Amino acid sequence: MAEFVGAIDQGTTSTRFMIFDHSGDVKGIHQLEHEQILPQAGWVEHNPVEIWERTTAVVQTALNKTNLTASDLAAVGITNQRETTVVWDRTTGRPLYNAIVWQDTRTDRIASALDRDGRGDVIRQKAGLPPATYFSGGKIQWILENVDGVREAAERGDAIFGNTDTWLLWNLTGGRDGGAHVTDPTNASRTMLMNLETLDWDDELLGFFGIPRSMLPQIQPSSHPSGYGTTRANGPLGGEILLTGDLGDQQAATVGQVCFAPGEAKNTYGTGNFMLLNTGTELVRSKSGLLTTVCYKFGDEPAVYALEGSIAVTGSAVQWLRDQLGIISGAAQSESLARQVEDNGGVYFVPAFSGLFAPYWRSDARGAIVGLSRYNTNAHLARATLESICYQSRDVAEAMEKDSGVALDVLKVDGGVTANELCMQIQADVLGVPVSRPVVAETTALGAAYAAGLAVGFWKNTDELRSNWNESKRWLPQWSDEQRTTGYERWKKAVTRTLDWVD
Ligand code: ADP
């Protein structure tokens, strides 16, 4: 019996392949970044061919480094940056345009038009999402309307759509030579095209965007023994392995953090931040600016739903300090620079680069640094950047408490930014609740491995997964109540300065 499960994690900045054992410990990993293509203000693209090549390379290297082969893997799961939109030709296997990334705001006119004629409310009701540039539907419409020949190819049935899970699954299972065109309900729930109750594409929603149903992948349960086909022997895994799990990255992290009971939540700190609260089989509609989304669907069991607070810019604000301002040379230096000062020196930074997502949903917002005086330095800005990550998370946590009536007693965290100990301390201070990081911080890949392993009996049930979760570190709040209240009031004021900036 194979001793390991593999997981492909196709993220916004990089792609990883990870190999886990039965305890959920990491046996092997390889990771490669891909190019962020920024053709003009507000546009963010990836090259789908590069993403496939990186996936091939990380799979092969991770297997080589661990001296494992396909036969050592009981199954492989996949997780991915959600919403990012790929349209390709099934006869040539070539993308018809670059992938339009979730942060891309080129569809702001498409999104705002939806709220002018009542379509927005139908989308809120059926898909659980506020109309926004974030989701795939408008991005597919943009490609159909703006890229020569795509509309005709779609009508012929040749142009097909997928998020990066679907793109990679199609390539892994044979590509134009019979590749499986499939996705799962967590990814599909981020398109504005899927009905949350039926878990199927909805003709009325498709009509809003002018998208032919034939472009869309088949929706399979997130964990299923035959849902996603088998890898080709001549593919990157070098053998035939069952692909049995598929989850959008944030839902995967929720599974990796074993938030299987209603009321359990996690917050992932990557390019953006994403807090998800398991609401069980009940579909809770937010009154406070959160999304309703599918958390997972395991086999024939009913779907489990989540409330989600999505924040567009958190870790990417740290990248901005590095790449655009050049005040740090690496992400980790944001911590040492911020530690040079005791506090933010009055500076608040609201990184509304892509507008504001949850709980505000204001595409007219743009970033602002406020409260500057002559006294301030790079160190204050670094500190304000870390604080912005934590204050945005508080905005979302407050919305979650309002919608669910459940107060957070501890926040489970994961993702790249959680390596920043100062940021995690500030998070506990700003929220006033303890922050807890697990031993295996790679919860996204772990969640995809769990979905895949459950489908083939590698893990028996979710209770077995729960026993794999162990805490590595906990941060306790240190600020006084007064500090917490004043800081948050200032933050809220800073947020108002970013609004009504673009038409
Ligand atoms: P994703 O899955 O979205 O690609 P990751 O979980 O890999 O993201 O996290 C990458 C993000 O974390 C980057 O935006 C980077 O700036 C940020 N990051 C990584 N290390 C640190 C650190 N020590 N301090 C602050 N931010 C960090």
The 10s digit of each residue's pLDDT in 74-99 is 999 999 999 999 999 999 999 999 99
Edge-to-edge strand list for the sheet holding 26-33: 26-33, 14-20, 4-10, 73-80, 243-248
Tallying the residues shown for the chain, one arrives at 503
**pLDDT class of 216 with cuts at 50, 70, 90:** very high
What's the CA-to-centroid distance between 319 and ligand 1, angstroms? 8
Q: Alpha carbon 399 to chain centroid distance?
A: 19
Mean pLDDT, the chain, rounded, equals 95
Instruction: Kindly give the number of the ligand 1 atom that is closest to the alpha carbon of 419.
Output: 23
14 CA closest ligand 1 atom index: 4
- Counting ligand 1 atoms within 8 A of each CB, the residue from 51, 417, 422 with the most, and so the one to mutate, is 417
Q: How confident is the model at residue 363 (pLDDT cuts 50, 70, 90)?
A: confident
Higher pLDDT, 349 or 261: 349
Interval 373-395: pLDDT, tens: 999 999 999 999 999 999 999 99
| Centre of ligand 1 from the C-alpha of residue 416, in Å | 4
Provide mean pLDDT across the span 207-215. Answer: 97
What pLDDT is attached to residue 398?
Answer: 94
Q: What spacing in Å lies between the alpha carbon of 421 and ligand 1's midpoint?
A: 13
Query: Residue 226 C-alpha to ligand 1 middle, in angstroms?
Result: 34
Residue 441: pLDDT band (50, 70, 90) is: confident
Computed from CA positions of residues 20, 25, 30, 36, in that sequence, does the dihedral angle turn out positive or negative?
Answer: positive
Residue 145 sits at the vertex; the CA angle it makes with 144 and 149, to the nearest 5 degrees, is 60
pTM for this model (two decimals): 0.91
Protein residue with its CA nearest to atom 7 in ligand 1: 416
Q: Strands 73-80 and 4-10: what pairing?
A: parallel
List pLDDT tens digits, range 146-161.
999 999 999 999 999 9
CA 315 to mean position of chain CA atoms: 13
The larger pLDDT score, comparing residue 120 to residue 406, is at 120
Q: Which residues' Cβ are closer than 6 Å to ligand 1?
A: 11-14, 270-271, 315-316, 318-319, 331-332, 334-335, 415-417, 419-420
Task: State the pLDDT at residue 240.
Answer: 94
Q: How many CB atoms lie within 10 A of CB 302?
A: 10
pLDDT higher at 404 or 460 = 460
Assign 181 to helix, strand or coil: coil
CA of 448 to the centre of ligand 1 (A): 20
Counting ligand 1 atoms within 8 A of each CB, the residue from 8, 251, 318 with the most, and so the one to mutate, is 318
What residue owns the CA closest to ligand 1's atom 18?
A: 417
pLDDT of residue 55: 97
Q: Is pLDDT above 90 for 292?
A: yes
Nearest CA to ligand 1 atom 27: 417
Reported ipTM: the value is: 0.98
